[in-house]
Amino acid sequence: MEFTYSYLGSSGVRNRGEGTAMSFVPDARREPTFFRGRLRKNIAFREAISALHDVVISDLRYQPKDKTHYKEWLERQEMVDWAAVSGQRAEVERLVAPLQRELNEVNQRISEQMSAYWRAQSSLYTYMYERDRNVWFVLDPVITVPPAEVFFECFSQDESSYGRLGASYEVFKDIGEFACGTTNVDYSSELYDEFQKIRSYKETDFEVDPSGFEVRTEGEEAHKEVKIDLPDTWVRGFLQVNSAMAMPSVRFDLHPMDVHNFCFVLRRNKEKKGPRSMRYVLRPGEPVRVIFEPWGLEVVCPRSIFKGEEAHEIRVWGRRRIQILERLIPAARRFTVHLLGQGMPSFYVADLGDMSFTLGLSGWTKNDWSTAGNFDLMAPRAAVDNMTMRRVFHGLKETWFEAPDRLASRLGLDRSVVLGALGAYTQAGRAIYDINKNVYRVRELSREPLPMDRLRFANEREQEATALVDQGKVTVLRADRTPEAALRLSGRVREGREELLPSLLIDPDERIIEAECSCYWHRQNKLYKGPCSHILALRMGHSRRSGRRP
């Protein structure tokens, strides 16, 4: 999928003796979006924007070793006739001696040349990363300027980490003109070095440059065109992470020193075998305990008391990614952790006062967001007609952010209808769920509508579920409401000669929170990769039986 950006110049930070001017150049192809203000909290913003950079460059995928020279040596060894050599041992020893000396000299020269080669290759990769986006692509961060808060979003190179930095208008002073909207900003690696020069004794001006939208006269410098051909998985990951944010989770607060202790343990120890997990042990009214495996090291968090009503023991993997939060520890008041379940994604929200930093991590490092859980299949799926959906979106755009209950009350619509519409817009990249403030926000991920036929349904399970319902192979046996107003469904699905028994629990927000099925796929994956086609078919069958369009 190709993204085309048009920048009038490059973003930069100008450091002077009396202050610092920080200017981000927006995409001139999108609706005018700009903002001007002077930072009130320089140091906290510096650390937060630097942590966002750490997310952008994060790539913890396994890098295999180059075995080219070993394989070449192995091929040469296979060409040697060892039987003839053993029969003429004396002659061979006489011939081998000078050859061995020559070989040692050749190996030494090769080693010296390869050392220079590896240095040159490293320099080339660094150059490509910093200068040539067409060769080494990094998706420019998305910046949104709504009323009351400016926020950045980015994705890591390995597609397993998501970062969001939100800065309320209280972070700034002397706020000038601004225009609300979403745009991509030119974000080069040189900016990171300039960010480190921000100081508390200097005034720092923050600007999303409105001049990027001025009409340029003929003969002046043209816009800088940047075309990035990104895989569909990158964009699909953005959609999945926002669907996952709206899922039910186990929530608790951690003191900043507890996060420091986690990072300290990870830096002092290196695992050589599995399991490589952090096991959160949560007991009501007791301090949060975390056990690091395989070492069995336990970190007790006496400043962090779990206030939930039920006990939990949840493992998370890909734990070294939380070291991204290390820079935020001095500036953070607390960290709020959201755990979706065993081996499921997790979210860490750093409270920085008038700023917040959200780090979203997939189930484990190799399980990127695009294939991690297909959380859009578990999101609210209430039937909403196109006119009502447009009404909900325009209602949200009037305020730019709003809680679902308040939006439903203001528009005079049922809450499930509003959630269904917001869920669809979230999966279309036009809105996001703010896990920190529990509100939905308008955010247009791209200038043009995303091709949902390529992004929304990356698997065939939903198509299979639709076929099962259309063929009349789904029978709803039971549909009951729990005291908490959740809907519990159980049924029967015929697939070939096999009869399967799926069941699921849908909360009042139309989200699947529990599900079981007797099929092999569900026994192997549970809900780690989303619901199976039979669970989806049971949900669709109930919707159709109730007179609602699935």
Pick the closest to residue 152 from 140, 161, 134, 160 (CA basis).
140
The pLDDT of residue 148 is 83
Burial class (CB in 10 A: 0-12, 13-18, 19+), 465: buried
The sign of the torsion formed by the CA atoms of 454, 459, 460, 463 equals: negative
Query: Residue 375: helix, strand or coil by DSSP?
Result: helix
Domains of the chain, first to last: 20-60+91-213 (no CATH), 379-455 (1.10.10.10), 461-545 (3.10.450)
With 0-12 / 13-18 / 19 or more C-beta atoms within 10 angstroms meaning exposed / middle / buried, residue 72 is exposed
Weakly modelled stretches of the chain, pLDDT under 50:
129, 132-138, 212-229, 454-458, 548-550
CA torsion through residues 377, 140, 362, 312, sign: negative
DSSP reduced 3-state for 335: strand
Ramachandran sector of residue 71 (left: φ over 0; alpha: ψ -120 to 50; beta: rest): alpha
Contact 549, 543 (CB under 8 A): yes
C-beta separation of 235 from 1 below 8 A: yes
Burial of 431-462, coded b for 16+ CB within 10 Å and e otherwise, reads bbbbbbeebbbbbbbbeeebeeeebbbbeebb
Cα-based distances in Å from 101 to 85, 95, 108, 529? 19, 11, 11, 58
Strands 181-184 and 224-229: unpaired
Let me know: does 486 contact 506? Beta carbons within 8 Å. Answer: yes
pLDDT of residue 392: 92
236 and 58 in contact (C-beta within 8 Å)? no
Q: Chain-wide mean pLDDT for the chain?
A: 80
HSE-up of residue 465 (Cα within 13 Å, Cβ side):
22
